[in-house]
Chains A and B, each alone.
Chain A
Amino acid sequence: MAILRHHFSRMLRPVLLSLLMSLFAFSPGAAWGGQGAATHGSLELISEQQSIEPGREFSIGLRFHLEKGWHIYWVNPGDSGEPPKVNWELPAGFRAGDLQWPAPQRLDHPPLTDFGYEGEVLLLAQVHPPARFAGGGGNATLAADVKWLVCRDICGPAHQRVTLSLPIKTGAPKGDPNWRLLFERTRARLPRPAPPNWKSTVLAEGKDFVLSIDWGASQTGSNQTGASKTPATFFPLEPLQIENAAPQRASAVPGGIRLTLEKSDQLLKPIANLKGVIVLGNGRAYLIDAPVIQNKRRT
């Protein structure tokens, strides 16, 4: 009887195992790629400083390090894909600001174009800790529940919860030397407001938008377009305004720059403003929110 039972369990074991595995395959976790599975890279939550001073805001970031050939998406992913989404789980009294997205790169796969990141990328967020802590010192643990899409030619959804624990101390916090450069490099790629003397306008002409930026009195722009072959690339913040995959014709004009952008096939009405990020030849990124003027003669 015992032998029979043993024999039976040996026969059943693979069946049970596969049953268990199939159950796992249909669990919600698996639908999201599971914790850490199929992320094609790593994700961690990092801090610019080594401790938290009550009431003093500081920067943290989601650091993606992607396997070669894989990419994730910008806040406007372009023709396909989906940007990462984060759900913060913070101690009482803590508040996190919106994610700050460094300027993306064009990911061309004709006839489509996406906007995103390859290699190492940091999505920043400002954290505001409370001015007073009930229990005095100790550690604070910040957590981020992150869902994102990672793609090569094919895509997979990924889901991971990452945490970061920092001591609470009075006095100015020390920077974390491991991440100093990465935070600096990332900030240099964050779109900044356009200088006040720049004048940006868009002329809607037939099937194109012609974006003109006049540097005004400042030399900021002309110094920054440099001798680069591509003086500028425009990344739309709103979907359905421009055709993402269309080539952008950029040219330097006296005192400024001009970019011809093809209107989106899906744009049905005139738009009041064209919003996006312009990346100049030297890699500096600026926010553009330019009024659109309809060219009545041609349209």
Chain B
Amino acid sequence: MRRVMIRFLSLPLLTAILLLALPVAWAAQVGSPAPDFTATDSNGKAHHLSEYKGRFVVLEWHNRDCPYTRKHYASGNMERLQKEWTGKGVVWFTVISSAPGTQGYVTADDENAYVARMHASPTAVLLDPEGSLGRLYGAKTTPHMFVINPQGVLIYNGAIDDKPTTDPADISTAKNYVQAALEEAMAGQPVSAPTSRPYGCSVKYAH
């Protein structure tokens, strides 16, 4: 009886604690452990971030119809990065947080066809139509990039590069922050630009 009482009482208390913790949990802070997640990819496979301890992980927020995403895909820039870094053992997750009915929302089959057509080579595409992974990391734009080190610590949160435009001609002269973060971290150096303003279209979250 007493146990039941405690359980009963602790439910609102637990809710209150969770609510209080929510603004903190929202943030993915560079220098802190990256929030763990479980997400399903476009082949139906579940991925837990914790499985990938010991490897670098890149998260790339994606919306194929956003002109900023198109800039990096139509030019082959994103595919080139995916190929280069997955080739060096990096786990690369493309994440789609577009809600059903919004721009960039795709079915699993549709996405698999797109990946093949674009010759893209992410480790997996995580489908996040309810936006929970996006909100957990505070993903704002497509693209918005995160890099997690083998210890599970977030080491980069920001834009793909320093040219916030839709013009593919800017790619050749841009400084690629993701490339720099991975190169520096793999060389055992601190990341020189650990944050930047992500640029692009807003992530089309469910409201």
List the interface of chain A (C-beta within 8 A of B).
31-32, 79-82, 109-112, 114, 147, 149, 151, 153-157, 207, 239-240, 265-268
Residues of B within 8 A of A155 (CB): 66-67, 201
Q: How far is the CA of A147 from the CA of B166 in the complex (A)?
A: 10
Q: How far is the CA of A207 from the CA of B103 in the complex (A)?
A: 33
With A112-B202, A114-B202 as contacts: A265 and B135 at CB distance below 8 Å: no
Residues of B within 8 A of A265 (CB): 26-29, 138, 157
Residues of B within 8 A of A239 (CB): 197
Q: Which of A81, A111, A267 contacts B205 (CB 8 A)?
A: A111
Q: Pick from B135, B202, B207 the residue with the most CB of A within 10 Å.
A: B202
Chain A: which residue is nearest B65 at the CB level?
A154
Chain A: which residue is nearest B137 at the CB level?
A265
List the interface of chain B (C-beta within 8 A of A).
23, 26-31, 65-67, 102-103, 135, 138, 140-141, 157-158, 164-168, 194-197, 199-205, 207
Apart from A112-B140, A154-B103, A155-B201: 8 A-B pairs, beta carbons within 8 A: A80-B199, A110-B205, A147-B167, A149-B166, A151-B201, A157-B67, A265-B138, A266-B197
Q: Which of A109, A157, A268 contacts B195 (CB 8 A)?
A: A268
Chain A: which residue is nearest B29 at the CB level?
A265
Chain A: which residue is nearest B197 at the CB level?
A239
Min CB distance A235 to B, Å, is 15
Q: Pick from B65, B195, B203, B204 the residue with the most CB of A within 10 Å.
A: B195
Chain B: which residue is nearest A83 at the CB level?
B164
Q: Which of B28, B29, B199, B205 contacts A82 (CB 8 A)?
A: B199
With A82-B165, A153-B102, A153-B103 as contacts: A268 and B141 at CB distance below 8 Å: no
Judge whether B202 and A109 touch: CB under 8 Å.
yes
Judge whether B203 and A112 touch: CB under 8 Å.
yes
Min CB distance A72 to B, Å, is 14
Residues of A within 8 A of B194 (CB): 268
Q: How far is the CA of A81 from the CA of B205 in the complex (A)?
A: 16
Residues of B within 8 A of A111 (CB): 135, 138, 205
Q: Which of A32, A110, A157, A207 contacts B207 (CB 8 A)?
A: A110
Q: Which of B65, B165, B166, B201 contacts A80 (CB 8 A)?
A: B201
What would 16 A/B residue contacts be, using CB atoms closer than 8 Å? A31-B168, A81-B202, A82-B199, A109-B207, A110-B207, A111-B205, A147-B167, A153-B102, A154-B201, A156-B67, A157-B67, A240-B195, A265-B29, A265-B138, A268-B30, A268-B194
